[in-house]
Amino acid sequence: MPFRAEDVAKLFALDGEPMIAVPFGNGHINDTFFVETSRARKYILQRVNGTIFKDMYGLMNNIILVTAHIRQKVAESGGDPLRECLTVVESKNGEAFVNLGSDFWRCYVYIDNAITMQTAETPELFRAAGKAFGIFQNQLSDFDAAKLVDTIPNFHNTPNRYKNFMKAYEADACDLAKTAREEILFVREHADLCSLLTDKLESGELPLRVTHNDTKINNVMLDRATGNPLAVVDLDTVMPGLSAYDFGDSIRSGATYAAEDEPDLAKVKFETDLFDKYAEGFISECASAFSKEEILSLYTGSVLMTFECGMRFLTDYLEGSKYFKVHYPEHNLVRCRTQFELVKQMLGKKDELEAIVLKYWQK
Ligand code: GN1
Ligand code: MG
């Protein structure tokens, strides 16, 4: 019997008795609940997917270290740490999470009066999202990456993702390859893209930083009243990485008004204006001192993170959709198609998009 969120909430050191615990958000991996107590305090309770995150101690330790670092930065600059940083709520036993055998649960203070978006709602709000991730990167620029464990090894190792895709395609365990011929061909024809970033990391042309690695637009919280950046959430994959990963994954998920699973590809349009606004926000906060190589890698990262994510959706589809939550059997294939459509459009706009990142860097 799975545990009920209402019962699990009672195991945490909340202010008041939990009165409601209702499903919340749209994550593809963990299960999230909104909790309110008898003293009108609000929390986020999450069941973490232990099949995907195998080292829960390491993962929560990463989050505690990173949030402590950010909290101090926010306090030093006169901000409000409870609104501008995630705050972990301990269990009644003083632990950072509760281990219920098959499930791990953790709890955060809820950030009130904030908005989150599933897709960019306006260019201005997307610029604020760029600022939020730029601020995050900047806050962690002096954080010692050696203190962090890799919560998912090879997370943005695109050549490795390609190998996994090829294994799934060749095994074709669910006999689904015949339903995704065009998409499989697209991946194979673009295999050369995969190593563009990892080669430059290995050669030392791009620096390793501490990055978020899951900068989907719905992982940003903006102030409801002002639209200004508050905090970034979903810190499970904070690990050493490239700035191009963080910039790129936001562009993948936010530089279009279409949903990630829009079935009508005619509606999937890459918006140069949104790319421009995000670049302005991000670069102004953290990238003005980047080398030219690193600035140009932001474009490469946009293409690659979108290609990689599409390839991951396709791999999961071929393997029977065991990784990402799906609402219908072809859901991952539909998601993969939107990603590849965006890749095609971004590849056709290389010069224009590179000129945009250079413009804000040179400012
Ligand atoms: C997952 O959990 P969520 O929805 O924030 C995934 C990301 C993908 C994203 C695609 C740990 O993020 O890497 O880009 O779905 N997270 C993990 O929507 O695999
Ligand atoms: Mg998320």
Each residue's pLDDT tens digit, 313-327: 999 999 999 999 999
Ligand approaching nearest to the C-alpha of 214: 1
Global pTM value: 0.97
Residue to substitute in 216, 262, 337 for testing ligand 1 pocket (most ligand atoms within 8 angstroms of CB): 216
Ligand 1 contacts CB of residue 31 (under 6 A): no
Phi-psi region for residue 247, left (φ > 0), alpha (ψ -120 to 50) or beta?
Answer: alpha
pLDDT tens digits for 68-101? 999 999 999 999 999 999 999 999 999 999 999 8
CA distance 184 to 2: 37
pLDDT tens digits for 190-246? 999 999 999 999 999 999 999 999 999 999 999 999 999 999 999 999 999 999 999
Chain position carrying tokens 């995704």? 180
- Please count the residues of the chain: 363
Ligand 1 contacts CB of residue 237 (under 6 A): yes
CA dihedral (166, 168, 174, 176) positive or negative: negative
Q: Determine the pLDDT at residue 103.
A: 82
Q: Say how many Å lie between the CA of residue 29 and the centre of ligand 2.
A: 8
Mean pLDDT over 259-264 rounds to: 98
* Phi and psi at residue 127, to the nearest 5°: -65, -40
pLDDT beyond 90 at 55: yes
Helix (H, G, I), strand (E, B) or coil at 292: helix
Q: Determine the pLDDT at residue 12.
A: 98
∠ CA 7-8-10, nearest 5°, is: 70
pLDDT beyond 80 at 155: yes
Q: Determine the pLDDT at residue 2.
A: 77
Residue whose CA is closest, atom 9 of ligand 1?
28
Mean pLDDT over 7-35 rounds to: 96
Q: Say how many Å lie between the CA of residue 129 and the centre of ligand 2.
A: 14
Q: Where are the beta strands (DSSP E) in the chain?
A: 18-23, 31-37, 42-48, 88-89, 98-99, 104-109, 114-115, 209-211, 220-223, 229-232, 239-241
Helix (H, G, I), strand (E, B) or coil at 220: strand
Both tokens assigned to 83: 């609104």
Chain position carrying tokens 């409601």? 20
Ligand 1 contacts CB of residue 214 (under 6 A): yes
Ligand 1 contacts CB of residue 260 (under 6 A): yes
Nearest atom (ligand 1) to Cα of 237: 11
Q: Say how many Å lie between the CA of residue 218 and the centre of ligand 2.
A: 6
* Cα Rg of the chain (Å, integer): 20
Q: Determine the pLDDT at residue 1.
A: 62
CA-wise closest residue to 227 among 130, 97, 93, 114: 114
CB 255 within 8 A of CB 278: yes
Both tokens assigned to 313: 């959706």
Q: Determine the pLDDT at residue 191.
A: 98
Strand partners, 292: none
CA-wise closest residue to 277 among 149, 158, 131: 131
Side-chain-facing half-sphere of 125: CA atoms under 13 Å: 23
Average pLDDT, the chain: 97
Q: Determine the pLDDT at residue 53.
A: 95
Residue whose CA is closest, atom 15 of ligand 1?
28
Ligand 1 contacts CB of residue 238 (under 6 A): no
Q: Say how many Å lie between the CA of residue 29 and the centre of ligand 1.
A: 7
Q: Say how many Å lie between the CA of residue 358 and the centre of ligand 2.
A: 29
Strand partners, 37: 18
pLDDT beyond 80 at 363: no
The contacts of residue 327 (CB under 8 Å, 6+ apart) are none
Ligand 1 contacts CB of residue 28 (under 6 A): yes
Both tokens assigned to 167: 């294994």
Q: Say how many Å lie between the CA of residue 225 and the centre of ligand 1.
A: 28
Ligand 1 contacts CB of residue 309 (under 6 A): yes
122: confidence class by pLDDT, cuts 50, 70, 90:
very high
CA dihedral (347, 247, 363, 206) positive or negative: negative
Q: Determine the pLDDT at residue 102.
A: 73
263: confidence class by pLDDT, cuts 50, 70, 90:
very high
Nearest atom (ligand 1) to Cα of 236: 11
Q: Say how many Å lie between the CA of residue 137 and the centre of ligand 1.
A: 19
Q: Say how many Å lie between the CA of residue 15 and the centre of ligand 1.
A: 31
Q: Say how many Å lie between the CA of residue 314 and the centre of ligand 1.
A: 14
CA distance 199 to 307: 17
Long-range pairs, 198-204, Cβ under 8 A, ≥24: 198/157, 198/158, 198/159, 200/293, 200/297, 201/242
Residue to substitute in 26, 29, 155 for testing ligand 1 pocket (most ligand atoms within 8 angstroms of CB): 29
Mean pLDDT over 259-281 rounds to: 98
**What percentage of the chain carries pLDDT values higher than 70?**
100
CB 156 within 8 A of CB 250: no
Residue to substitute in 24, 26, 28 for testing ligand 1 pocket (most ligand atoms within 8 angstroms of CB): 28
